[in-house]
Chain A
Amino acid sequence: MADMILQVKHLSKAFGSHEVLRDIDFTVNRGDVTSIIGASGSGKSTLLRCINLLEQPTSGEILYHGENVARPGFNAPAYRSHVGMVFQSFNLFNNMTVLENCVVGQVQVLKKNRKEATEHAMEYLEKVGMAPYIHAKPRQISGGQKQRVAIARALAMDPEVLLFDEPTSALDPEMVGEVLGVMQRLAQEGMTMLVVTHEMAFARDVSNHVVYMNQGVICEEGAPKDLFGAPQKQQTKDFLARFRQN
């Protein structure tokens, strides 16, 4: 039986009277690379932010190893340290160098000693090719480099699952490749990933599960070759057709 990490049940989220997510159900198993695709405003990012409790769901459950994390009074910081997140706008700490960005969480949250944390951080910074820049401040490096550091920062916490919120949307086209390359390598190494993306090629070639969202509901999901090859619903066909034209 597959090792289930996250299970989302009947999740709904409303901002005032505007319902952004309605009755979302899906699961993330260990080793899964799930891509969430859909038009802007379809609720993809909100879903990801709900999973990391950056937004509090209006109703429904998010089970992490069977424990509901969306209940009142839940210890969110401890849970978040197991669920990494990479943002569209990088959100590196501007007051720290590249290396400190990857060390501070390990020292403060995981209570590792600084030497151990630094070695661990260097391991991942080398993996994303940012080891040369450890003394630079975020304002001194490019967008693609910032995003690679953000990935290393999330990885250094040894998360069980990594959430990506449109990681390449804020990047210049020539920098997209270096970030997607790193993500592809992570996927091959068996990292569990949940990726909100507009990169259809990535969704098709790298992930093993694709979720298509439309207007706050999961419209269709399945293996990439089924969803891209033979979409069942009309909305999915329309959405994919728009991308093929480009």
Chain B
Amino acid sequence: MDKFIQLGQDMAKLWSNYRGMYLSGMWNTLLLALVATAIGCVIGLACGILNTIPYSKNDPAWKRFLLKLIRILVRIYVEVFRGTPMVLQAVFIFYGLPYFTDNAMRFGSVWSAAILIVSVNTGAYMAESVRGGIISIDPGQTEGAKAIGMTHVQTMTHVILPQALRNIMPQIGNNFIINVKDTSVMFIISFTEFFAFHRYITGVNNMYFPSAAIEMIGYLTMTLAASFLLRWLETRMDGSDSYELVQADSLTMTAGTYNHPGKGSPYDERSREYPKEQKGGI
């Protein structure tokens, strides 16, 4: 029990001394995760559309070649960025660019580098999620859109992607939460997110455990908030379950407009719904 009281006191002390740092770290983490997830989604959607452009034997050779090339490039991108750790990607991009161009090209700020790295990484995961989302939509939807003369892009943007996007919302949420936590590896390029401040603060006062506890609570708060927000967003996207009738439908068959063989017989459901004689009537 003493240990817990001690821990609580230490945490309170840390929080009162370094509250500004922790909060700004959380803010940076959230902002980076949010922006990078959003850009990653756009990259994923673009890859998903490019990947699913149909071609047939009858298309001209250059078109088939181009589409095959695009698919191969997207595939390479996905496999490379999904298959290597983000820490190393950060090192390669942030330090590699000035190294290979003899300092001719370098990142203006650590923010732009961090956003680039995390979005490109998220994009690789999202590309596959989007592809899965598109495949999961009934092919009849595509046929319906094509039958009224929509092009591939129109079909995608108006019919398929809105439905696919709804289906991959849990995946987007997953990616966002993973990004909130995994942006912590951006300390390698000296990006000051939540975890970087933990390293700084413990470096000053050696209070590893209380600071780690604060970090735990901080991360959990951020991810829980994100979870609830996403659930709320999903129910919003599903829309209302009810709708308003503007007037009566004149063509649907209701009692009195439909004659069938069993009418009036004991097997007739409608006759039970609307009995001729009211039992025990008024």
**How distant is the Cα of A93 from the Cα of B147 in the complex, in angstroms?**
12
Q: Which residues from chain A contact B138 at a C-beta distance below 8 Å?
A: 91
A78 contacts chain B at the CB level, 8 A cutoff = yes
B154 contacts chain A at the CB level, 8 A cutoff = yes
Q: Number of residues in B with C-beta < 8 Å to the partner? A: 38
Chain B, Cβ-Cβ closest to A179? B251
CB <8 Å contact, B158 and A56: no
User: What is the minimal beta-carbon distance from B29 to any residue of chain A, in angstroms?
Assistant: 34
**Given A52-B147, A93-B159, A105-B150: A72 and B58 within 8 A (CB)?**
yes
Q: Which residues from chain A contact B243 at a C-beta distance below 8 Å?
A: 97, 133, 135-137, 140
A residues 22-42 in Cβ contact with B at 8 Å: none
CB <8 Å contact, B250 and A129: yes
Binary interface encoding of chain A residues 146-174 relative to chain B, with 1 for a CB under 8 A from any of its CBs, else 0: 00101001100100000000000000001
B141 contacts chain A at the CB level, 8 A cutoff = yes
B239 contacts chain A at the CB level, 8 A cutoff = yes
User: What is the minimal beta-carbon distance from A131 to any residue of chain B, in angstroms?
Assistant: 6
In addition to A95-B166, A131-B247, 19 A-B residue pairs with Cβ atoms within 8 Å of each other are A54-B147, A56-B56, A73-B60, A77-B149, A80-B148, A84-B148, A85-B147, A87-B140, A87-B143, A87-B147, A90-B140, A95-B163, A104-B158, A135-B244, A137-B239, A142-B252, A144-B252, A154-B147, A178-B253
Q: What are 29 of the A-B contact pairs (CB < 8 Å)?
A: A54-B147, A56-B58, A72-B60, A79-B149, A80-B147, A80-B149, A81-B149, A82-B149, A87-B143, A87-B147, A89-B140, A93-B141, A93-B144, A93-B145, A93-B159, A94-B163, A105-B149, A109-B154, A129-B252, A132-B249, A133-B245, A133-B246, A133-B249, A142-B252, A144-B252, A145-B249, A145-B252, A174-B253, A182-B251
